[in-house]
Amino acid sequence: MRIAVSQISSTTDPRSNLELVRDAVRRADGARVVLLPEATMCRFGVPLGPVAEPLDGPWASAVHEIAASHDVVVVAGMFTPSGDRVTNTMLVTGPDIHLGYDKIHLFDAFGFQESRTVAPGSSPVVFELDGVTLGVATCYDIRFPELFRALADKGASAVLVGASWGAGPGKKEQWELLVRARALDCTSWVVACGQAYPGDLGSSAPTGIGYSTVADPFGNVALQLSDKPEVAVAEIDPGATERARSVLPVLANRRLR
C-alpha cells in the first residue's frame, strides 16, 4: 500500500489550508492514503473554538470531496465542537468512508495545557482499506504504547499518526525514538506525519518541527523528511507486519494488559 506523507505548515485560515490539502492530494503519486498532520485545519496558537466544525460541516465536507474526486483516503487533523471546548480530531475521509478519531491523550506537558481548550476522546479507531486495517493516532498519543497495542489488537497492520510536535531541546530525537519504539511495541508500521517547522512564531504552542518519519514493524526507519514542507510516498507492506509478529511475538507474549 502506498501512503503519501504530506508534511505541511498550516496557517490560521481553514480555507487556505484546504488548498494545502488539495495540493497534497495532487502530489500523492498514486498513493491510496494521503496523510496530513494534526491541526491541518488550523495551526495551534490561536483560539480554536471559532474554527471548529462538525464532521459534516463545510471544511470536512470539502476534504471529503477532494479525496473522493481523486479516489484516495485523506487523513488530516481538524477541530470539532465539544461543549465549551473542542476535540482534536483526525478526519478520515474518502469515497466510502467519513469518520473521525478524537485524540485520547492531550498534551499537558512541557508548559502547554491542551486540556484547557480541548476535550479528550475515549475510543481507539481503525478502518479498513483494500483489505488492510489501519489505525489512527495523534501526536502526544505516541508516548503511550498501550494505545498502539490496542490498535494492533483491533487488527491494525499500520498506524497513521498526525502530529504538530513541539520544538525544544531533544524533541527531534524523542520524536524519532518514539516512532520507532511504538513500531516495535505493536510490531506494526508507524507512519507519522508532522507539521513542518514554521520558524519562530513567538508562541509556546506546538507548531511543528518537521521530520515526518515512517518506521517498519522492526523499528527501522524506512523514510524521514526534512524540517521543510514536502511530500513523499511510503510503500507499506502488510506482509512485513505478519513476518514481524511471527518472529517477534511481543503481542502474543504479553503477561500484563
Active site residues: 38, 103, 139
Other CB atoms within 10 A of residue 90 CB: 28
**In contact, 212 and 7? CB cutoff 8 Å:** yes
Task: Phi first, then psi: give them for residue 250, nearest 5 degrees.
Answer: -65, -30
C-alpha cell at 91: 478526519
Please report, for residues 53, 91, 190, 211, 248, the alpha-carbon distance to residue 78 in angstroms, rounded to integers and kept in the order given.
8, 7, 21, 21, 36
Residue 140 corresponds to which amino acid? Answer: Y
Dihedral sign from CA coordinates of 114, 82, 125, 94: negative
Distance CA 204, CA 34 (A): 29
Q: What is the CA radius of gyration of the chain?
A: 17
Please report how many Cα atoms fall inside a 13 Å half-sphere around the Cα of residue 87, on the Cβ side: 19
